[in-house]
Amino acid sequence: MNFTILHESRSTNARVGRVETPHGGFDTPAFMPVGTSAAVKGVTVEQLRAVGARILLANAYHLMLRPGHELVEQLGGLHAFMGWDGPILTDSGGYQVYSLARMSRIDDDGVTFRSFVDGSTWHLSPERAMEVQNALGADIIMALDDCPPARETAETGPRRRDAHERTLRWLERCRASHRRPDEQALFGIVQGGTDLLLRRASVEAVCNVELPGYAIGGVAVGESIEAIRRVVDFTASRMPAGKPRYLMGVGYESDLVAAVRAGVDMFDCVLPTRNGRNANAFTPAGRLHLRNARFREAAGVLDPGCDCPACAGGLSRAYLRHLFLAREMLGPVLVSVHNLRHYQRLMLDIQRAIREDSWSSLAEAWPATREPASPSCTTSTRQP
């Protein structure tokens, strides 16, 4: 993997860059649609290309359980398996350790857990996480990390310190067992919760390990918006300037802009498709809840400035509302595609704002980026 910074903002830490991988490149800041089980829910790869997506995210934990990484490798790897010829990033399963804590046991060797698929017992170690991701063949793979609870208590304080130290030990084991370093870029993950002293220790230690890129983990798991932004601002500025910085599991438009201004390059979140399946459409002015009665006779499209199939095709808000009320599968598909295009258009305009240093123009064109309307993506893409 190669990362080139093409332009740096004069007034913020934002930058425009280019990442090249064995399966092509993508410009940053970049938003990755989430295809947890090798599929972005309800959206074909042709539609993903059409909305402007250039890199996708899949989850190694889920693919290990079903259909099995050995089968994916046998069928030509993840790119061939899902019919996507562009870059792919796979997450390792660290968040599942956190989110499925009632079903798991963590120690220094790894995590033992019960499968949500059939209840069988599995063990995930750093070596196993690398074996699975090497078999899947993604262009960017994530080290196995220990994601601690978000809120600070007398009990979680020691847990956070343990998670910080364990994440570092696991990172070294991931690097040592990674058998395809010339083809797959391994990213380390900075942890530390909302404790800035622990974040400092984590970013210094993780980024001291020479890797192609680094991620900010352990946010958007229940903290306040203010806490997330404080952590991101603090952490991003301490990460290597010449490597991609990836913020995991965030978020709404205002969160993305704030993180870009802090110096983050890559993002992922389930928000566009999850909202799309639930009749919530993103627009530059904010979300539309299409089930609301006020849209029963609404003749306008979701966003006149959008070129997605629904908007370009002149489909009214009233028609889309009808699809959801009639339980037609076309409704979730159309709104999911619209939301994905919304996010890709936003990233293009963010790149333009960086090049032109025109943040006020961005805020005028995208009022939703000004202030958060609700909590961030509190259910991370690394979810079950």
Same domain, 220 and 344: no
Alpha helices of 137-224 — where are they, by DSSP H? 156-177, 196-206
Same domain, 78 and 179: yes
Catalytic residue among 146, 265, 268, 303: 268
- Domain with 258 in it: what CATH number? 3.20.20.105
Domain count, the chain: 2
Same domain, 236 and 148: yes
Same domain, 143 and 233: yes
- Is the residue at 374 inside a domain? no
- Is the residue at 375 inside a domain? no
- Is the residue at 175 inside a domain? yes
Same domain, 196 and 178: yes
Q: pLDDT value at position 160?
A: 86
Where does a domain end: 210, 238, 269?
269
- Is the residue at 376 inside a domain? no
- Is the residue at 384 inside a domain? no
Sign of CA dihedral 221, 336, 28, 374: negative
Whose tokens are 């993997």? That residue is 1
Residue 146 bears catalytic tag: no
Residue 162 bears catalytic tag: no
Residue type, 201: A
Where does a domain end: 269, 285, 300?
269
In the three-class reduction of DSSP (H, G, I as helix; E, B as strand; rest coil), residue 283 is classed as strand
Where does a domain end: 233, 248, 269?
269
Same domain, 260 and 295: no
| Strand duo 24-28 + 213-216: pairing | unpaired
Residue type, 377: C
- Is the residue at 380 inside a domain? no
Domain that holds residue 228: 2-269
Q: What is the pLDDT along the chain (384 residues), one digit of tens a residue?
A: 999 999 999 999 999 999 999 999 999 999 999 999 999 999 999 999 999 999 999 999 999 999 999 999 999 999 999 999 999 999 998 877 667 656 788 999 999 988 888 989 999 999 999 999 999 999 999 999 998 776 666 666 788 899 999 999 999 999 999 999 999 999 999 999 899 999 999 999 999 999 999 999 988 787 889 999 999 999 999 999 999 999 999 989 999 999 999 999 999 999 999 999 999 999 999 999 999 999 999 999 999 999 999 999 999 999 999 999 999 999 999 999 999 999 999 999 999 999 999 999 999 999 999 976 444 444 444 443
Same domain, 264 and 365: no
Distance CA 36, CA 15 (A): 28
* Burial grade of 46 (CB within 10 A; 0-12, 13-18, 19 or more): exposed
Same domain, 255 and 286: no
| Strand duo 30-32 + 266-268: pairing | parallel
Closest by CA to 171, choosing from 243, 280, 279, 92, is: 92
